[in-house]
């Protein structure tokens, strides 16, 4: 396995293979095979384009050839930061053909995160869009390149400016001699963790483990060649990528429709016109859709093709969950997953009360679940505890993170999810809270420590504590408590400072409070976690 990654112990790997979970299939094999079987079916629709499986395959092959000529080789890491455009699929499958490893950045990531990804993985290329959502990725890429924080090779989907257009990298003729078939047990790509630490951690996923979760997810969601999936969330996120996401849909021979944004106007129009059968959203988007259909601008949309609405990424309140069937006329599927692995689903035939009040049960019979107290002792059945997990598609370690891995995983390889859950008698999990220093802003994960570090870099700041502030729409927003050295900077000045440091848009605090001191915690040594809890409590009572 790639240096810096933690392999599964041999006996586990053997067990997963013997059980048929790990099949030895690679991402490259998978598209080749589907292109043969479903050549003329539509694979992807988006940004005014409509490609069949044969076209997607041909484009991936031509781009792989072009990338090889530009110097991208097997084993190279390539940071891919693309919005929901068909070129995203073309590029990632081109990289898989070469045996190169995509490193996924969200469109909301900015120079700070992209630099971290490029330098940590020693990326040999960066692929960005021209503009999206009012942001110019070319300018960011040029700035990073000038600082030595991005590779020389920057490819742009769209208007390239002074950079290399992706279209130019596409060779006129594919040359299969440059393709490489990687070891299916090795790392296929990297996802970025939501994180709880100062710097975001990289999640290495193998062909074997990820394709198992994709296949099993496609099965749980009853996907087939008649499936039309709307990718409304940014497709590079683990949920719309693999649960079952666009990969599950392509695996099943269905059609992926890419939405440029998840607004009711854009997404519900696509559901109507493309006859979408399944889609996935985070709770705030589900609320927007429900309101738009029930009371608002989208009430006359024909959504009769929609069979399943998946909701996940953050807790979906039962009151909202109960509205899905009557308002949208489809089945709700709750999805509680994580880029590190474990994914739980309510099943499509679960009774309505289970689908609306639980976050599902594990995807695989081989997912091992432990629910434990602070001392790692199992809690009595039905009680709330920390969720630990191990299994055929849950990583055993973050990339190049020995120190962090020592606490993020147990000695016997269970991943500490940081989630507080209880298990119902039916085996379903209910997410009751969280023990990790992370803010879940409507499904977007913010590490308190990471944002604090950025605030602490401001010369006028003495100390900072970042906490979640409860919010009826997003679940939580980001609030920063700041102690200034002398004269506090203005709120606007501090936020500008954070934006200039290249922090992702969703990590920029929604509220800044300047305080004289932090509340005393009653213990001699100040625990930042205690402090955050105390501040969160105060915030709740003062709102
Ligand atoms: C409560 N909290 C949830 C849910 C995730 C499918 C779906 C989601 C993700 C994802 C994913 C939750 N209710 N239904 O990767 O494949 C919180 C938990 C979890 C963290 C993981 C997938 N669904 N969460 O959200 O890596 O705290 O993955 O540990 O972004 O989101 O975040 P992330």
What would the DSSP string read from start to end of 455-479?
HHTSTTEEEEEEEEEEETTTEEEEE
What residues have CB less than 8 Å from 41, skipping those under 6 apart? Answer: 52, 53, 225, 253, 255
Place 532 in a pLDDT band, splitting at 50, 70 and 90: confident
Query: What CA–CA distance (Å, rounded) separates 192 from 204?
Result: 9
| Cα separations in angstroms, 177 against 27, 56, 93 | 18, 19, 16
State mean pLDDT over 212-240. Answer: 98
pLDDT at 95 over 90: yes
pLDDT tens per residue across span 325-376: 999 999 999 999 999 999 999 999 999 999 999 999 999 999 999 999 999 9
Cβ contact 235:241 at 8 Å? yes
Ligand 1 nearest atom to the CA of residue 312, by list position: 14
Place 195 in a pLDDT band, splitting at 50, 70 and 90: confident
ipTM: 1.00
State mean pLDDT over 183-204. Answer: 94
Q: What is the DSSP string of 492-531?
A: HHHHHHHHHTT--GGGS-SEEEE-SSPPP-SSSSPPHHHH
CA-nearest residue, atom 21 of ligand 1: 338
Tell me the CA–centroid distance for residue 375 and ligand 1, in Å.
24
Cβ of residue 504 lying under 6 Å from some atom of ligand 1: no
Give the N- to C-terminal CA distance of the chain in Å, as an integer: 51
Query: What CA–CA distance (Å, rounded) separates 457 from 327?
Result: 48
Predicted confidence at residue 197, as pLDDT, reads 87
**Tokens standing for residue 537:** 């409590």
Cβ of residue 313 lying under 6 Å from some atom of ligand 1: yes
Phi/psi zone of residue 71: left (φ > 0), alpha (ψ -120 to 50 degrees), beta? Answer: left
Cβ of residue 345 lying under 6 Å from some atom of ligand 1: no
Tell me the CA–centroid distance for residue 37 and ligand 1, in Å.
33
What residues have CB less than 8 Å from 351, skipping those under 6 apart? Answer: none
pTM value is 0.96
Nearest-10 Cα torsion for 318, 322, 328, 330: 100
Give the rounded percent of residues in the chain with a pLDDT score beyond 70: 97
Predicted confidence at residue 541, as pLDDT, reads 64
Cβ of residue 194 lying under 6 Å from some atom of ligand 1: yes
pLDDT tens per residue across span 383-428: 999 999 999 999 999 999 999 999 999 999 999 999 999 999 999 9
Place 152 in a pLDDT band, splitting at 50, 70 and 90: very high
Length, in residues, of the chain: 543
pLDDT at 542 over 70: no
Cβ contact 209:189 at 8 Å? no
Ligand 1, from 216, 221, 336: best to mutate by most atoms within 8 Å of Cβ? 336
CA-nearest residue, atom 31 of ligand 1: 313
């Amino acid at each position: 396995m790639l240096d810096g990654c933690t392999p599964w112990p041999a006996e586990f790997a053997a067990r997963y293979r013997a059980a048929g979970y790990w099949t030895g299939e690679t991402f490259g094999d998978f598209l080749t095979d589907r292109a043969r079987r479903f050549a003329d079916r539509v694979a992807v629709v988006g940004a005014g384009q409509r490609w069949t499986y044969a076209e997607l395959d041909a484009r991936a092959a031509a781009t792989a050839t072009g990338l090889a000529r530009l110097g991208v080789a097997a084993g190279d890491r390539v940071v891919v930061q693309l919005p929901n455009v068909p070129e995203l699929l073309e590029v990632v499958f081109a990289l898989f053909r070469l045996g190169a490893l995509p490193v996924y950045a969200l469109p909301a990531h900015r120079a700070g995160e992209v630099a971290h990804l490029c330098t940590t993985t020693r990326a040999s290329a960066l692929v960005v869009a021209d503009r999206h959502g009012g942001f110019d990725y070319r300018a960011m890429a040029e700035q990073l390149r000038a600082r030595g924080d991005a590779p020389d090779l920057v490819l742009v989907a769209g208007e390239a400016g002074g950079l290399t257009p992706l279209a130019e990298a596409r060779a006129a003729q594919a040359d299969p001699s440059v393709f490489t078939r990687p070891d299916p047990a090795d790392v296929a790509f990297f996802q970025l963790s939501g994180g709880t630490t100062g710097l975001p951690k990289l999640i290495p996923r193998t062909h074997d483990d990820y394709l198992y979760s994709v296949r099993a997810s496609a099965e749980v969601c009853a996907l087939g060649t008649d499936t039309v999936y709307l990718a409304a969330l940014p497709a590079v996120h683990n949920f719309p990528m693999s649960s079952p996401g666009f990969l599950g849909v392509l695996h099943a021979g269905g059609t992926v429709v890419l939405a440029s944004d998840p607004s009711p106007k854009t997404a519900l129009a696509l559901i109507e016109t493309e006859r979408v059968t399944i889609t996935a959203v985070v709770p705030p988007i589900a609320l927007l859709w429900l309101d738009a259909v029930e009371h608002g601008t989208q009430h006359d949309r024909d959504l009769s093709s929609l069979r399943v609405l998946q909701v996940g990424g953050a807790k979906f309140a039962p009151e909202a969950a109960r509205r899905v069937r009557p308002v949208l006329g489809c089945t709700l599927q709750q999805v509680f997953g994580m880029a590190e692995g474990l994914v739980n689903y309510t099943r499509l035939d679960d009774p309505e009360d289970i689908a609306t009040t639980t976050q599902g049960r594990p995807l695989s019979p081989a997912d091992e679940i432990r629910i434990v107290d602070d001392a790692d002792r199992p809690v009595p059945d039905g009680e709330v505890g920390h969720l630990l997990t191990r299994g055929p598609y849950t990583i055993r370690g973050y990339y190049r993170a020995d120190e962090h891995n020592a606490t993020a995983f147990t000695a016997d390889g269970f991943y500490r999810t940081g989630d507080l859950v209880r298990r119902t008698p039916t085996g379903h999990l209910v997410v009751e809270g969280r023990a990790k220093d992370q803010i879940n802003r409507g499904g977007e994960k913010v590490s308190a420590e990471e944002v604090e570090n950025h605030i602490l870099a401001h010369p006028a700041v003495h100390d900072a504590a970042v906490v979640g502030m409860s919010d009826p729409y997003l679940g939580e927003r980001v609030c920063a408590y700041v102690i200034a050295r002398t004269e506090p900077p203005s709120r606007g000045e501090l936020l500008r400072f954070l934006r200039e440091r290249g922090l992702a848009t969703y990590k920029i605090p929604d509220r800044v409070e300047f305080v004289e001191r932090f509340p005393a915690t009653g213990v001699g040594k100040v625990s930042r976690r205690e402090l955050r809890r105390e501040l969160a409590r105060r915030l709740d009572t003062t709102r």
